[in-house]
């Protein structure tokens, strides 16, 4: 099954929904905006995590304003990205302050938490794996964070050039030892055809009884 999706709006290069992908909860969009362009999103009954993969932006929700965000100009930079959590029943406007690559991760939400900024210094960093599978993990929205369902993690290799030998961390080691889920986690990867030099490859994983819905990308 191909998960490459045609864009539906100007600047939207990926639009993955539970219905189009054949899973139950996860949604994932990627936007490529030119400097000065604006995109407006309504969260509906879903919570969102907006991740500035590369570029600068200003983000405004109905109740909060986060201007002048971002520092990373390439997804290959190993510093954590700036992100914004958006609750259900909210409206968010993103203005590109430079050319911008924006990931929008979503999952069903209950609206228990307000919109908030996730700064790079708020992101936990850890190293996982051994040998050629060593990777540096940025926990953008870990299971300890204030969110109803969504997890967001960014993973990059700790050895070799970032464009080669990339690995995906689907199951955190602490949870891999627990076999209490009732069915395997469904995973699927999406390799972008546009702008291959950016090397940004998002990966999504579906919900299991043990985990919150997860979106992993790097």
Average pLDDT, the chain: 76
Q: Is the pLDDT of residue 117 over 90?
A: yes
- Given this model, what pLDDT does residue 179 score? 39
Assigned token pair, 96: 């590109």
CA distance 151 to 171: 12
Residue 63: pLDDT band (50, 70, 90) is very high
The mean per-residue pLDDT over the stretch 97-115 comes to 95
Q: Is the pLDDT of residue 44 over 90?
A: yes
Q: Which CATH architecture has domain 12-217?
A: Sandwich (2.60)
Question: What are phi and psi for residue 174, nearest 5 degrees?
Answer: -65, -30
Q: Residue 173 gets which letter from DSSP? A: H
Lowest mean pLDDT among 17-31, 101-115, 174-188: 174-188
- Given this model, what pLDDT does residue 215 score? 56
The mean per-residue pLDDT over the stretch 119-148 comes to 88
Q: Which residues in the chain belong to E strands, given as ranges?
A: 12-16, 27-33, 38-42, 46-54, 57-61, 65-69, 83-86, 91-96, 100-108, 116-118, 124-128, 135-141, 151-157, 187-189, 202-205, 214-217
Give the residue from 211, 154, 196 showing the smallest Cα distance to 13. 196
Q: Is the pLDDT of residue 180 over 90?
A: no
- Given this model, what pLDDT does residue 199 score? 38
Q: Name the pTM for this structure.
A: 0.74
Give the residue from 218, 86, 64, 216 showing the smallest Cα distance to 142. 216
Assigned token pair, 65: 């304003």
Q: Is the pLDDT of residue 45 over 50?
A: yes
Per-residue b/e over 175-212, b at no fewer than 16 CB within 10 Å? eeeeeeeeeeeeebebebeeeeebbbebbbbbbbeebb
CA distance 81 to 103: 11
Domain extents for the chain? 12-217
Residue 133: pLDDT band (50, 70, 90) is confident
Counting residues of the chain whose pLDDT is more than 90, the rounded percentage is 47
- Given this model, what pLDDT does residue 76 score? 81
- Given this model, what pLDDT does residue 212 score? 57
Residue 186: pLDDT band (50, 70, 90) is very low
Question: Who has greater pLDDT, 126 or 218?
Answer: 126
CA distance 175 to 18: 24
């Amino acid at each position: 099954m191909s998960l490459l999706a045609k864009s539906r709006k100007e600047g939207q290069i990926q639009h993955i929904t539970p219905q189009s992908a054949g899973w139950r909860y996860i949604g994932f969009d990627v936007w490529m905006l030119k400097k000065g362009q604006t995109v407006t999103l309504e969260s509906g009954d879903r919570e969102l995590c907006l991740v500035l993969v590369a570029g600068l932006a200003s983000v405004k929700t109905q109740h909060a304003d986060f201007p002048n965000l971002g520092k990373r100009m390439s997804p290959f930079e190993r510093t954590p990205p700036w992100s914004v959590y958006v609750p259900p029943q909210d409206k968010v406007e993103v203005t590109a302050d430079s050319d911008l690559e924006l990931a929008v991760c979503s999952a069903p939400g209950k609206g228990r938490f307000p919109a908030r900024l996730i700064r790079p210094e708020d992101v936990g960093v850890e190293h996982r794996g051994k040998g050629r599978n060593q990777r540096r993990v940025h926990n953008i929205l870990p299971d300890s964070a204030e969110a109803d369902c969504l997890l967001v993690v960014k993973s990059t290799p700790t050895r070799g050039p970032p464009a080669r030998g990339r690995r995906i961390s689907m199951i955190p080691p602490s949870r891999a030892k627990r076999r209490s889920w009732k069915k395997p986690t469904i995973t699927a990867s999406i390799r972008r055809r546009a702008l291959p030099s950016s090397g940004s490859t998002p990966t999504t994983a579906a919900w299991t009884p043990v985990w919150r819905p997860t979106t992993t990308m790097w």
